Structure 1
Amino acid sequence: MSTTSEPLPPNPDPVLNVAITPELVEKHGLTPKEYELIKEIIGREPNLTELGIFSVMWSEHCSYKNSRPLLKTFPTQKADADSPNQVLIKAGEENAGVIDIGDGWAICFKIESHNHPSAVEPFEGAATGVGGIIRDIFTMGARPVLLTNSLRFGDLSSAQSKRLFRGVVHGISHYGNCIGIPNVGGDVYFDECYEGNPLVNALCLGVLRHDQIKRGAAKGVGNPVYYVGPPTGRDGLGGASFASRELSEESAADRPAVQKGDPFMEKLLIEACLEMMAVDGLVVGIQDMGAAGLTCSTCETAGRGGSGIEIELDKVPQRETGMNSYEIMLSESQERMLVIVQKGREKELEAIFEKWDLHAVEIGTVTEGEDMVVNQHGSPVVKLPAAKLADEAPVYVREAQEPAYMAECRTWSADSLPAPDKATLESALGKLLSHPTIASKRWIYSQYDHMVMTGTVVEPGSDAAIVRLRLDGKKEKLIAIANDCNNRFCWLDPYTGAKIAMAECVRNLACSGARALAMTNNLNFGNPNKPESFYMLKESVRGLAESCRTFDLPVVGGNVSLYNENVNQKIDPTPVVSLAGIVDDPAHVTTQYVKGAGEQLILLGGTPDELGGSYYLKIMHGLKTGAVPAVDLEAEKTLVACVLSQIAAGRVKAAHDLSEGGLLTAVTEMLFAPEATYGAKLDLSALTGKTGAGVAAGSGVGGKAPSVPAGATRLDALLYGESQGRVLLSVSPDKAEAVLAAARDAGVPASVIGEVQTEPTLTCQTAETLSWDVASLRDGWETTIEKAMSPQA
């Protein structure tokens, strides 16, 4: 029973005597109605420390008060209860979800944002984002085995974007490399909409046995509560609240809200915690001190356990002198955990942490009732109902309104563009490959140690990364990971754009030989109080939820990052999708690179006629408009099944999905093999349904225009349009007919469009021949980001 309404006794901490004014409530990100609700819940006025606690726990970052109704539409378990790879820990139940991978083993993975901190302090913001997501994984009892990241920056010609980009990549590489977990890739986009408001989404995946799963619940009255890890400082105060408001000049100067990370300390913490959790029956519950620090870890463990919790702040290790209760409770100092230990076994835990030279201090106990009680200087300074803090934040259903520009964009027609001549069609390929979003990300991933732990099978750069898990020294599992989201599509149509993000991620796994298991997501949006921004969030979630149900992929967790706006603009809606998959046979591992001359290039999925939202439209015409490419989720399922069946049959040398840049971009990327640069001879004449449409008169041989394949009314749409549901395969000549027959039987459009050759020249035959030097294309593709980030640039 709660007794929070009883007045707290006097305490010498001066912060507790601060008067709570409307201005102070507003500064803490709480509305007048929310403040009245707080008083109703606790039956009295809160003191400043209690106000701060409600502020962080009821922030969007911790409570999802603007997004929770939407998130409930995600499936959290597979629809087919008899299918393999069932979810063992569902989204929202713990720090991260857990899904079975067979033979008594499971993976645990999650993605989270550190956007606002990275905008203020890019190195520390990104580094601590990596550290935080790692803690979410090993808290579950899993050993972290891989990292990826999904990054968004402004135009790379901007000095500010370069500074943020350099700092973020340095922070990610520093933390991951020092801690010794391979960073195997991710996705990176550059767009003006992210100027000054970068997105830094970090993912970690770990592996564990079913019997190693740990819960974050405080149970067992009388069980001691331990603080483990380094001392608490004043860094990171109010970080959760900071992440739940728009960026402004005031918040940009809020440097104390950015934490400081120590990867070497976290490495010790990982090993100590995993050793501790391996001792049978020692750990009752465990929770990392991430957002909202000691506040979140205490009230959430008590709430999950249906119990109360009482802690003594005087026992909390402190890095700085004179810290008051507000500072200790709200500090987000890194590399700290809260552990509930089985009573009578305290010495076992203390011995483990002493071995690793880390603090392990008993600071409290699990109690009867439902209150979180915090004592300092001999008397209570906080007395609040734990479950109401953790689970009963107000929930809002905001007004949603489609932005006016979307309808206008949908009416745009490619007929308004000039017909492309040969020179335009040829120059476009080099320009697309040299755009930082499409260009090689080697400058980034060369700074990451992606081979540490010696398990990386497919390195960064292909459609998906693959890591080998060695289990008990005997069994092996191959896990694939990919991230995706094209913000331009989501800006034009968030519902369809979100479905495209999901479909592309599934294709990326399939092209690597992996079947998808489950999804985590990071929903990056603007201010939900603005109807247009909330519309984008609502529609994106609708698209993702529909896609998950179609592919039968459960959501095992994720993160919502709202208020991604600054004084000048808001970001495009960016619902990042991350999928983990499994490769059932090592022989099925596939990359996007062709393996040798003579291989046949087969296009699966046909030649739709779409240019809306494409990078061709942006780069060649300066436009961000048009109807988003259509996506047929059932057709995508059929395509993915076809690709996986052909890989399993041993017929596929390379596979690559078509996305940014379209058909020619995808073909060229396949020719950039690690060991050699190949060429290809493409012949689209077999697809020709009509000639002379959509190209400049007289641009072909003898005054004839290049022919346009059936299904396309413009040659630029055929070559550079970003229509969905398409994959390129490279197969041996003797396997081509079997692949075509299998596709035909599956109902998947398929055509041989060319052949790989040793000479690094790409030719594309229509009514005339378009040609490119592949070595020159590769040079532009490989060096764009490196040149932009050189000290001389």
Structure 2
Amino acid sequence: MAPTEVTDGNVLPTVETARKLGVLPEEFEKIKEILGRDPNFTELSIFSVMWSEHCSYKNSIVWLKTLPRDSDRMLAKAGEENAGLVDIGDGLACSFKIESHNHPSALEPYQGAATGVGGINRDIFTMGARPIAQLNSLRFGNPNLPKTKWLVKGVVKGIGDYGNAFGIPTVGGEVFFDECYNTNPLVNAFSAGIVEVDKVAKATSYGVGNPVFIVGSATGKDGIHGATFASEDISDKSNEKLPAVQVGDPFMEKLLLEATLEIIATGHVIGIQDMGAAGIICSTSEMSAKGEHGMIIDLDKVPTRQANMHGWEILLSESQERMLVVVEKGKEDIINAIFDKWDLHCAQIGEVVAPGPHDTGRLHFYQHGQLIADVPAHDLVLGGGAPQYHREYREPAYYQQFKQFDSNQVPDVAADELTAVAKHLLSHPNIASKKWVYEQYDSMVGTANRSTNRPSDAALVRIRDAKHPNYKKGIAMTVDCNSRYVNADPFVGAQIAVSEAARNLTCTGAEPLAVTNNLNFGNPYVPEVYWQFVQAVKGMGAACLKFATPVTGGNVSFYNQSSDDGPVFPTPTIGMIGLVENPEHQMTLDFKAEGDLIYLVGPPQNDIASSEYLYSYRGVKQSPAPAFNLDEEYTLHQSIKQLIAQGVIASAHDVSDGGLFVALAESAMPRGLGFSISTDDNFRTDAYLFGEAQSRVLVSVKPEQQGTFQQLLGAELKTEHALLGTVTAEGFVVNGQTVLSTADAKDLYDNSLGRLMA
């Protein structure tokens, strides 16, 4: 069918129509310039979703390009495929990514979170990788509010129900509470999978005459303009946009996983892409732009769940569990047979066409025999014609105010106050065990999880390779960000987020490989918010360079704010993977036996800034980020790696939220042990025990290894370290005073969050 006159039966839209769709007046003029005419409503809708922040990264891409994105292990250019891809040796690669589903979860937490899990897993298996593990990073408001409890329960159940039914273990994550998230929770989902290097699928389209298929679920009206919805502030009118929230079906996704991997294995797939944000229009435009070809699509052939859907509704629908697949011409029957076997829709809706004389490829969409949209693929996409903005930014007034903090104005903790502080921290929802959450997840499905019964700072999953039954390598993974630190100082806070992720991997015995990030911020048109974003990207880039962990891709989520609560804390969540070459080098955080020696590796600091102790116990909300030095952090990691490789430590646990005391408690409780330590008179007691200064790791050492340990750290590695005390049979003892029994501490730590949610 040759392109003729474009019509969709509607009056041509005005600049006011464009505004309502989230298109700026100057963008509306640019659209007219690109098309050489006024767009019809369908075409304007196409540009509105493809040029939304969620799809185009128009307010962030200029800074994202500054992040380090190359290494010898990178197998896919950052952001150009469905997910990142890193070589792990032996002909295998790890595909991994993190993405947000914040706005949908704020309105409908169960489906919002569930479809976030489904979407991130589709990104992995469209690469040809079989997902092996999931993580999530969750942020909620005041946990005492009924609304927060409703959101927490809905999100956790949505993640658990979808992930458990899909059959991929959730092996770790983080949960954080602060009032800044009262209206706008953050739900960031991470997934990783393994693929043979020579079986990787690409998100591209080329080859004139090659058929285009839509596979998986039928298309409905759920999720329409979801990308636009995710590119605006949460308001009291947001509930009117509930149809923009998608509905997921994990059992359908499981079938789609198996069918997708099977068709990729045939070798007949030219390109494949998940239909996530912006649905059909996103997949067709991004694949066509990358392959520099066009497509002719007949929307009447798309399987739909509702009758009489408009063309723009079909194009923009974000119904879940769908893929766009371009296949070699002549292989249609093979693809159809596979999807028939799995009882899934498989409909040819168009074909690939040659680029025109003046462009790299156009998309022609037909309905009822009429051409309803004619748009150039290149001009729709990130890196093509989508706008890129340099936004104004300026330092917020609070930044310098926070730096005026003087710890001398805060009383030190007294000896008779230690128990109260310990109870407060161990029961605080930001520190207490997330047992209530993770018990709703299946962490053992697939039997590859190596950290359920061997607690460590990062999750560790065994790699299963059918060609090598005794394959021993493992992938360690973590998600990290203390958003309070980032709010206090976005540059330093983002460096800390990367460093803590790398520290968690190092303490698990892994070599950090690469990063995926989820950058959650407020409205980018607010100069103070955009300053936070810019500083965080700069800090992240500096730390990633230091640790040689390039950014493989990820997600930017702006507009996380409301008129009532303002912007959320800037939250650049870091997802990082590492490789454990030898399972004997897996390191756990738990103390092993009474009498083992306890050491602190890294410099102690007289610092309580931004600690949970200062923020929630003392009630001091304004302070800078905790003490941090990137060079010291890097040196610490190299020292811990040597200690693990040479087998001279029995446990390793990074000192982070809650400080040294919490790290000691978390190391003692897994085996029902205790500790007896002494503080240093050169430091404030609260700073020594509860401060959150960075670049410190708690280790335990067998007495017979003490000489080797001290020789290695002192003479060879020249890393600061201090003997704190010993592992005991029971009880938490500080300076000869029993602060808590192990049993009481464990009850507070394990059960406080569950009691709060009940």
TM-score w.r.t. the length of structure 1 is 0.93
Instruction: Give the Cα separation in 2 of the matches to 1:433 and 1:7.
Output: 68
- Length, aligned pairs only: 745
For residues 364 and 66 of structure 1, the distance between their equivalents in structure 2, rounded to whole angstroms, comes to 33
Q: Deviations over 1:225-283 (max 9, x none)?
A: 01111110000010000000000111233110000000000000000010000012x10
AA aligned opposite 2:466: D
> Within the alignment, does 1:750 sit opposite 2:721 as a pair?
yes
Write the distance in 1 (CA, Å) between the matches of 2:577 and 2:153.
28
Tell me, yes or no, if the aligned pair for 1:7 and 1:44 is still in contact at 8 Å: no
Tell me what 1:697 maps to. Answer: none
* Counterpart position of 1:211: 198
CA–CA separation in structure 1 for the residues paired with 2:200 and 2:285: 21
- Cα deviation for residue 379 of structure 1 reads 1.7
* Residue 397 (structure 2) aligned to one of 386, 396, 404: 404
> What SS does structure 2 have at the residue aligned with 1:275?
helix
Contact 1:234–1:320 (CA<8 Å) still a contact in 2? yes
What is the SS of the residue equivalent to 1:112?
strand
Partner in structure 2 of residue 510 of structure 1:
506
Give, in whole Å, the separation in 1 of the partners of 2:302 and 2:186.
34
2:423 to 395, 408, 430: 430
> Does the Cα contact within 8 Å between 2:15 and 2:28 map onto a contact in 1?
no
What is the rounded CA distance, in whole Å, between the counterparts of 1:718 and 1:491 in structure 2?
A: 23
User: In the aligned structure 2, how far is the partner of 1:555 from the partner of 1:679?
Assistant: 40
Q: Give the one of 543, 549, 567 matched to 2:545.
A: 549
CA contact (8 A) 2:472 2:583 kept: no
In structure 2, what is the equivalent of residue 342 of structure 1?
Answer: 328
CA distance in 2, matches of 1:278, 1:67: 36
Question: How many angstroms does 1:746 deviate by?
Answer: 1.2
Secondary structure at the aligned position of 2:530 is classed as helix
- Describe the SS at the equivalent of 1:458: coil
Q: Is the 8 A contact 1:120 1:253 kept in 2?
A: no
**1:576-597 CA distance string (max 9 Å, x none):** 0111001121111111111111
Alignment identity in percent? 47
Distance, in Å, in 1 between the alignment partners of 2:151 and 2:272 is 34
Contact 1:308 1:367 in 2 (8 A): yes
Which residue of structure 1 lines up, in the alignment, with residue 708 of structure 2?
A: 738
Compute the displacement of 1:645 (Å).
1.3
Residue number in structure 1 paired with 2:587: 590
What residue is the counterpart of 1:374 in the other structure?
A: 365
Partner residue in 1 for 2:358: none
1:764 maps to 734
Question: Which residue of structure 1 lines up, in the alignment, with residue 300 of structure 2?
Answer: 314
1:699 corresponds to which residue? Answer: none
Among 527, 530, 533, the alignment partner of 1:534 is 530
8 Å Cα contact 1:763-1:771 kept in structure 2: yes
| Match 1:681 to one of 676, 689, 695 | 676
Cα distance, 1:600–1:190 mapped onto 2, change above 3 Å: same
Cα distance between partner residues in 1 of 2:59 and 2:507: 36
Map 1:152-301 → 2, pairs under 5 A: 152-280=139-267, 282-301=268-287
| Distance of 1:183 and 1:239 partners within structure 2 | 26
Of 456, 465, 468 in structure 1, the residue corresponding to residue 462 of structure 2 is 468
Contact kept, 8 Å, 1:488 with 1:624, in 2: the verdict is no
The correspondence of residues 348-359 of structure 1 with structure 2, limited to 5 A, is 348-359=334-345
Q: Any idea what SS the aligned residue of 1:430 has?
A: helix
**Cross-structure match for 1:38:** 31
Contact 2:365 2:371 in 1 (8 A): yes
Contact 1:136 1:288 in 2 (8 A): yes
Mapped to 1, the partners of 2:701 and 2:369 lie a distance apart of 75
Q: How many Å separate the matches in 2 of 1:304 and 1:195?
A: 40
SS at match of 2:193: strand
1:21 partnered with 2:14: yes
- Deviations 1:368-396 (Å, cap 9, x if unpaired)? 11110001111210100011111221111
Deviation, structure 1 residue 747: 2.1
CA distance in 2, matches of 1:145, 1:66: 33
Q: Deviations over 1:284-306 (max 9, x none)?
A: 01111110000100011100000
Distance in 1 between residues matched to 2:542 and 2:587, nearest whole Å? 28
Distance 2:754 2:107 in 1: 24
Partner of 1:612: 609
Aligned to 2:407: 414
Is residue 418–residue 739 contact of structure 2 (8 Å, CA) maintained in 1?
no
- The residue that corresponds to 1:727 in the other structure is 697
Match for residue 782 of structure 1?
Answer: 750
In 1, distance between residues paired with 2:629 and 2:712?
Answer: 20
What displacement does 1:630 show? 2.7
Residue 651 of structure 1, CA deviation: 1.8
SS of residue matched to 1:253:
helix
> In structure 1, what is the equivalent of residue 654 of structure 2?
657
2-structure distance, mates of 1:557, 1:50: 29
Q: Is the 8 A contact 1:496 1:630 kept in 2?
A: no
Q: Cα offset for 1:770?
A: 5.6
Structure 2: which amino acid aligns with 1:466? L
- CA–CA distance in structure 2, aligned partners of residues 305 and 332 of structure 1: 23
Amino acid across the alignment from 1:638:
T
Residue 383 (1) aligns with residue 380 (2): no
Residue 446 of structure 2 aligns to a residue whose secondary structure is: helix
Q: Select which of 16, 19, 41 maps to 1:48.
A: 41
- Divergent runs of 4+, >4 A: none
Within 2, Cα distance between the matches of 1:656 and 1:679? Answer: 15
State the shift of 1:7 in Å: 4.5
State the SS of the aligned residue for 2:573: strand
Q: 1:787, CA displacement in angstroms?
A: 0.3
Cα shift at 1:723: 0.4
The CA distance in 2 between the partners of 1:682 and 1:419, in whole Å, is 19
State the SS of the aligned residue for 1:476.
coil
> CA–CA distance in 2 between the matches of 1:93 and 1:22?
32
| Greater Cα shift, 36-45 or 248-257 | 248-257
What's the CA shift for 1:365? 0.4
CA distance in 1, matches of 2:326, 2:201: 11
Equivalent in 593, 596, 600 of residue 603 of structure 1: 600
Q: Does residue 1:640 correspond to 2:608, yes or no?
A: no
Report the Cα distance in structure 2 between the residues aligned to 1:742 and 1:627, rounded to whole angstroms: 34
Distance in 1 separating the partners of 2:5 and 2:368:
17
Instruction: Give per-residue Cα distances to partners, 1:593-616, cap 9 Å, x unaligned.
Output: 111111111100021111111111
- Check the 8 A contact 1:145/1:207 in 2, yes or no: yes
1:324 aligns with 2:310: yes
Distance 1:344 1:287 in 2: 21
Counterpart of 2:128 in structure 1: which amino acid?
G
> 1:334-372: CA deviations, max 9, x gaps?
000010000011100000000000111111000011110
SS, match of residue 75 in structure 2: strand
Aligned mates of 2:737, 2:184 — CA distance in 1: 44
Q: Which runs of 5+ in 2 are unaligned?
A: 356-360
CA RMSD of aligned residues (A): 1.3
- State the alpha-carbon separation in 2 of the partners of residues 483 and 217 from structure 1: 30
- Partner of 1:457 in structure 2? 450
* SS at structure 2 position matched to 1:405: helix
Please tell me the residue identity of whatever aligns with 1:291: A
Q: TM-score, normalised on structure 2?
A: 0.97
SS of 1:173's equivalent in the other structure is helix
Single out whichever of 157-166 and 641-650 deviates more from structure 2.
641-650
Instruction: Find the aligned partners of 1:671 and 1:361 in 2 and give their Cα distance.
Output: 58
Q: Which runs of 5+ in 1 are unaligned?
A: 689-707
Q: Secondary structure at the match of 2:337?
A: helix
Letter in 1 for 2:635: T
CA distance in 2, matches of 1:425, 1:593: 23
SS at 1:611 equivalent: coil
CA distance in 2, matches of 1:23, 1:163: 37
Question: Are the equivalent residues in 1 in contact too, given 2:472–2:581 (CA < 8 A)?
Answer: no
Q: Give the residue type in structure 2 aligned to 1:670.
A: S
Letter in 1 for 2:561: E
- State the Cα distance separating 1:21 from its structure 2 match: 2.5
1:692 matched to which residue of 2? none
